Structure 1
Amino acid sequence: MTMTNVEEIEVNVRQVDEPSASVPNPTQMVEVIRKLVLAGVGALALSRDEAEEFINRLVERGELAQKDAQHLIDETVERLRKTTQPQTNQIQNNVTNISSQIESNLEQFLNRLNIPSKRDIDELSAKIAHLAGRVDELRRAQDAPPPKTKAAPKTEE
């Protein structure tokens, strides 16, 4: 018994619709990476708060002048920012690259299953709309009465 194309497509669609433990959800992976980046930013904010607390304790004990404390806090924050900014940029670039790779791999996976992409469906829809318009034009031309032609005036010789 052979499957028709429609049956094959239905089987392929069912297989893709069923959740699979072996194929991770790209959105979930990107979300995990995003949370890791946010955790890093949170750690930086916590480090700043802890540094400010430590410096404020030094001021309270008289081991550091108030004006020097603010300068030290600003300097520490700037140093942390300079240290973490390249890493943050690298992480953001990595997240973007990973997202692109996941999208590309998912598209290749779906292509191997012969599942049309949204772009394929949009292209086919546009072609169908164009052909439907052309069929309507041809029907109107066929149903329309032939144009009346005027007989050429007879010339007397």
Structure 2
Amino acid sequence: MIIPGKNPNTPASPIEAKTQDPFAHLREQDKDNKGSVPSLIPFEASGTVDLDKVDEVNKFGNHSARFKGTNNETGEPMEMWMNTKKDLVIYGNTLPDPIDPKQVTGKVWHAIVYGTVYTNPETNRKKFYFDCLVLDIEGGPLQQSIKPRDFSKNPLLEQ
């Protein structure tokens, strides 16, 4: 016997769309953490971004970029490494289509960063993930990426 309204296949029951939580996996991982939930907040920041090897995946499976600038909402200074496990999304400020990361890697650019801040509820430590970079293509790169200097010899004697 089918009870109207109880079976989703009967015409009397309305089908309700279930909203999906994109962060459900993080909440599930954090369930053992005394019921606390990680904080995930979107942010927007402006400054310079060093895209040295951004087209390569590092040993942690991330694309990384060095950012120095300010948070557009709070005005606080930001200087950190930002990562993403997603496919790179990089735009030029005047270009409608995404840019191939190989064209901009190895250079420093003025940029606007759209990302997400993940705050661990136990340690209150923040991790910054970038979702999209918008580079000032019109202004061009500021410089080549900053490479570590070789100090295998005394720099004062190298003249």
Using the size of structure 1 for normalisation, the TM-score is 0.17
Larger radius of gyration: 1
If each structure's helix is expressed as a fraction of its own residues, which one has the higher value? 1
Of structures 1 and 2, the one scoring higher in RCO (CA 8 A, sep 6+) is 1
Using the size of structure 2 for normalisation, the TM-score is 0.17
If each structure's strand is expressed as a fraction of its own residues, which one has the higher value? 2
